[in-house]
Structure 1
Amino acid sequence: MQNRYFGPYIRNFIEDKAIPMRSKVISVGIIWLSTISTTAFLIEKWWIILCLFLISAGVSWHILSYPTKQ
């Protein structure tokens, strides 16, 4: 909580159980960008692509299920 970069985010989450909208957008965007870019190299491995999309959908749902901090 004393870290100058991550401290405010951790403190906000512990105190309010909420995530700022900017953090939600960046987190979900990076998750889906990395999932889509990874699938470009795994064209013949359909089951890995399916697992990546399911994991990305689950993590995105989890992040978006928290209230948004105003």
Structure 2
Amino acid sequence: MKFALNLIGGIAVVLAIVGMFLPLLPTTPFLLLASACFARGSTKLHNWLLSNRLFGEYIRNYEQGRGIPLRGKVVALAMLWASIGYSAYSVGSTALIALLVSIAIGVTIYLCVFVPTLRTA
């Protein structure tokens, strides 16, 4: 089981890195997935992720309940709605469009209501 968690976490890190360069691939969800998998699969990998100079602080702030910076929320929501809009435009099924929009609304509510906005000093 630990091997599977570490494998999924590793794949999530790779996808997060790719997402830093591809506008429609989200980075944050993959980093959070990797952190959750590593926390249960490997203390060493989890500590590596938390001490990473690029995204360690971001993950630590989220895991410790301090939240996400306002800029991060705005970028995440803009990318979310742009990708949902493009996807809704591309698919012809009303049911799929309703599902996509429902997911986007759920994520938007989660980010705006349940995830604190990190205030920088």
- Normalised by the shorter chain, which TM-score bucket? 0.7 to 0.9
Q: Is residue 2:90 matched to residue 1:41?
A: yes
Could you tell me which residue of structure 2 aligns to residue 23 of structure 1? Answer: 72
Moved over 6 A (4+): none
Superposition RMSD on alpha carbons, in Å?
1.2
The number of residue pairs the alignment matches comes to 69
TM-score (norm 1): 0.88
Unaligned runs of 5+ in 1: none
Find the residue that maps to 2:64 and give its secondary structure.
helix
Find the residue that maps to 1:3 and give its secondary structure.
coil
Equivalent AA in structure 2 for residue 53 of structure 1: V
Equivalent AA in structure 2 for residue 52 of structure 1: L
Unaligned runs of 5+ in 2: 1-49
Among the aligned pairs, what percent are the same residue?
A: 32
Find the residue that maps to 2:90 and give its secondary structure.
coil
Equivalent AA in structure 1 for residue 59 of structure 2: I
How much does 1:19 deviate?
1.3
